[in-house]
């Protein structure tokens, strides 16, 4: 196995890095700071749309997609290099449509749906959100209660979704709903493309204490959608959803580790230039030990992400759920360890987020607080560990999981 990039790939990496470095000079402060909520906050969304347009013009936005759907069949290595650069520079790109809904339509949609739904995504014209979780169906998603009941050519949707990232700025939701209420679990579920401007949909914000707005509750009351919006077979949406979950969990694999590298370089700069009790932090043996440990873990994670990409390549979009779960657990918890260590060495000031005294512009306390969201979302890490034990290590499945 050769882990080096080819000369062509290195040239591509330079092209991406140069482009993003330049573009970030025009980014608003909230984007420059980085953090989980950035792509979906209102302040950053304008920049998100601007950069999306530029990427579409360059042919980079959906470059991994087949040519017939507006992509350029870029190899996985090329996509990884692109994603790594995007994440390293903190470019706020929406991945819900490009990496989750789009691939699901390619695998399960009809020809008519592929023509109608994929091109607007490829052109960066539409924003999607993911409508799965409900107040009593998160980890146990298969128990969800929102119904989509057939009425002639239409489905009538009733129910409530919660924690829906970006619903307030989205045009569409890919919804998981129960089409057969007689079935209580995974059988009887179907996937839909829902236009969020339809009557019968209400979106209510769930705001952070500081007022920023990323998540929402979405209520459906007799909302009618045409049957042509059902993606895949009726009542067989669960397999499709599980596959999309893997895109979600692993999709942010290399991005997560590239983001970690940016934060790591920031903290490295901090220990090189900051003094405590007359000595630089880098002179402290415990700080050096921790820096070395995190660096080793960061490199391990990056290798794991590339391995996962290879699994996707050989599996033609379908790959091991255990690999996706490993990436999710390792990446999110590494950010947690890195931000925890950063706050330890920063002392009291590290805990201040928005002040002239906040070290590194408060990004580490921001990471420390928001990473818990990433540890829970896309299936909590406890659930991921269960999947690794079951699918990855071959332990028998527990009843009810
Ligand atoms: C930042 C963020 C963004 C999100 N964005 C979206 C979105 O865009 N769309 C969407 O549909 N959903 C979204 N969610 C919801 C997310 O998918 C759920 O929060 C997640 O699946 C957990 O479900 P829950 O919150 O109901 O917790 P619960 O399922 O009630 O779990 C509570 C606790 O019990 C643990 N637990 C549960 N079952 C087991 C088990 N079998 N073994 C061990 N431990 C277990 C969990 O790990 C967790 O710690 C988001 C969540 C967050 C935090």
pLDDT in tens, 73-103: 998 888 889 999 999 998 877 788 998 899 9
Provide the 8-state DSSP code for 98.
I
Mean pLDDT, range 19-38, rounded to an integer: 83
Both 174 and 297 in one domain: the answer is: no
Pocket test for ligand 1, best of 36, 160, 377 (most atoms within 8 A of CB): 377
Instruction: Out of 78, 243, 248, 255, pick the active-site residue.
Output: 248
Residue the block writes with tokens 């903290």: 267
CA atoms of 282 and 291, how far apart (whole Å) = 9
39 within ligand 1 shell (Cβ under 6 A):
no
The total number of structural domains that make up the chain: 3
Q: How far is the CA of 376 from the centre of ligand 1 (A)?
A: 5
pLDDT given for residue 117 in this prediction? 97
Q: How far is the C-alpha of 366 from the C-alpha of 254, rounded, in Å? A: 21
Residue 1 pLDDT exceeds 70: no
Would you call 372 helix, strand, or coil by DSSP? helix
Residue 93, classed as helix, strand or coil, is coil
Residue 247 has pLDDT above 80, yes or no: no
Q: Which pLDDT score, from 0 to 100, does residue 316 have?
A: 47
Give the three-state DSSP class for 218.
strand
Cβ of 138 below 6 Å from ligand 1: yes
- 237-251 and 321-346 helices cross at what angle (nearest 10)? 40
Beta carbon of 92 within 6 Å of any ligand 1 atom = no
Give the pLDDT mean for 160-184.
Answer: 95
- Express each pLDDT in 250-269 by its tens digit: 555 788 899 999 999 999 99
169 and 214: one domain?
A: yes
State the pLDDT at residue 317. 43
Q: Mark whether 296 and 330 lie in a shared domain.
A: yes
Q: Is the CB of 373 under 6 A from ligand 1?
A: yes
Q: Which of 95, 130, 133 to mutate to test the pocket of ligand 1 (most atoms within 8 A of CB)?
A: 133
Range 234-246 average pLDDT: 88
206-217 average pLDDT score:
85
Of 176 and 373, the structure prediction assigns the larger pLDDT to 176
State whether the beta carbon of 179 lies less than 6 angstroms from ligand 1: no
More confident residue, 324 or 160: 160
Is 159 or 323 the better-scoring residue by pLDDT?
Answer: 159
The per-residue pLDDT of the chain, averaged, comes to 90
Residue 164 placed within a domain: yes
pLDDT digits (tens, 9 = 90+) for 336-388: 999 999 999 999 989 988 788 899 989 999 899 889 989 999 899 999 999 89
- With respect to residue 356, please indicate whether it lies within any of the assigned structural domains: yes
Tokens of 208: 């952070």
In short, whether 351's Cβ falls inside 6 Å of ligand 1 is no
Atom of ligand 1 nearest to the CA of 167: 8
Higher pLDDT, 196 or 315: 196
Confidence grade of residue 307 (pLDDT, cut at 50, 70, 90): confident
User: Residue 161 Cα, ligand 1 centroid: separation in angstroms?
Assistant: 13
Residue 58 sits in a domain whose CATH number is 1.10.540.10
378 is a domain residue: yes
pLDDT-derived band of residue 39, with 50, 70 and 90 as boundaries? low
Res. 146: pLDDT tops 60: yes
Ligand 1 contact via 130 beta carbon (within 6 Å):
yes
229 shares its domain with 259: no
Residue 112 lies in a domain: no
Instruction: Looking at the structure, tell me whether residues 206 and 290 fall in a common domain.
Output: no
Strand, helix or coil at 148? strand
Q: Are residues 376 and 346 in the same domain?
A: yes
38 shares its domain with 69:
yes
CATH of the domain at 187: 2.40.110.10
373 CA from centroid of ligand 1 (Å): 9
Sign of the dihedral through C-alpha 349, 353, 354, 356: positive
Please check whether residues 88 and 197 belong to one and the same domain.
no
- Entry pTM: 0.91
User: Atom 44, ligand 1: which residue's CA is nearest?
Assistant: 382
Residue span of the structural domain in which 296 resides: 252-392
pLDDT at 139: 93
Residues 257 and 221 both lie in one domain = no
Q: Active site includes 248?
A: yes
pLDDT of residue 34: 74
Closest CA to 339 of 353, 328, 326, 327: 353
Query: Is there a domain that residue 365 lies in?
Result: yes
**Same domain, yes or no: 50 and 148:** no
């Amino acid at each position: 196995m050769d882990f080096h990039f080819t000369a062509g790939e290195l040239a591509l990496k330079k092209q991406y890095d140069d482009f993003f470095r330049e573009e970030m000079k025009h980014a608003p402060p909230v984007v420059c700071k980085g953090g989980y909520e950035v792509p979906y906050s209102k302040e950053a969304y304008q920049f998100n749309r601007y950069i999306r347009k530029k990427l579409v013009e360059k042919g980079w936005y959906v470059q991994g997609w087949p040519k017939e759907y507006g992509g350029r069949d870029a190899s996985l290595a090329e996509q990884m290099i692109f994603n790594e650069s995007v994440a390293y520079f903190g470019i706020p790109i929406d991945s819900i449509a490009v990496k989750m809904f789009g691939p699901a339509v390619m695998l399960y949609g009809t020809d008519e749906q592929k023509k109608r739904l994929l091109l607007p995504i490829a052109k960066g014209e539409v924003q999607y959100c993911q409508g799965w979780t409900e107040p009593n169906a998160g980890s146990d998603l298969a128990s969800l209660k929102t119904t989509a009941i057939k009425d002639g050519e239409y489905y009538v949707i009733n129910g409530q979704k919660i924690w829906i990232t970006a619903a307030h700025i989205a045009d569409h939701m890919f919804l998981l709903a129960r089409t057969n209420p007689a079935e209580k679990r995974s059988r009887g579920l179907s996937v839909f493309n829902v236009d969020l401007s339809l009557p019968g949909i209400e979106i209510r914000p769930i705001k952070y204490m500081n007022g920023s707005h990323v998540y929402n509750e979405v209520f459906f009351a007799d909302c009618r959608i045409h049957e042509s919006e059902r993606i895949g077979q009726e009542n067989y949406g669960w397999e499709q959803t599980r596959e999309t979950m893997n895109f979600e969990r692993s999709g942010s694999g290399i991005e997560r580790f590239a983001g970690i590298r940016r934060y790591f370089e920031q903290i490295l700069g901090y220990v090189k230039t900051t003094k405590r009790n007359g000595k630089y932090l880098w002179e402290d043996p415990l700080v050096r030990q921790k820096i070395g440990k995190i660096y080793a873990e960061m490199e391990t994670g990056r290798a794991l992400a590339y391995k996962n990409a290879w699994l996707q390549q050989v599996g033609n979009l379908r790959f091991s759920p255990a690999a996706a779960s490993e990436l999710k657990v390792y990446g999110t918890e590494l950010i947690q360890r890195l931000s925890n260590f950063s706050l330890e060495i920063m002392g009291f000031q590290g805990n201040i987020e928005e002040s002239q005294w906040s070290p590194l512009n408060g990004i580490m306390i921001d990471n420390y607080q928001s990473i818990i969201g990433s540890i829970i979302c896309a299936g909590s890490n406890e659930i991921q560990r269960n999947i690794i034990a079951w699918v990855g290590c071959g332990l028998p499945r527990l009843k009810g999981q």
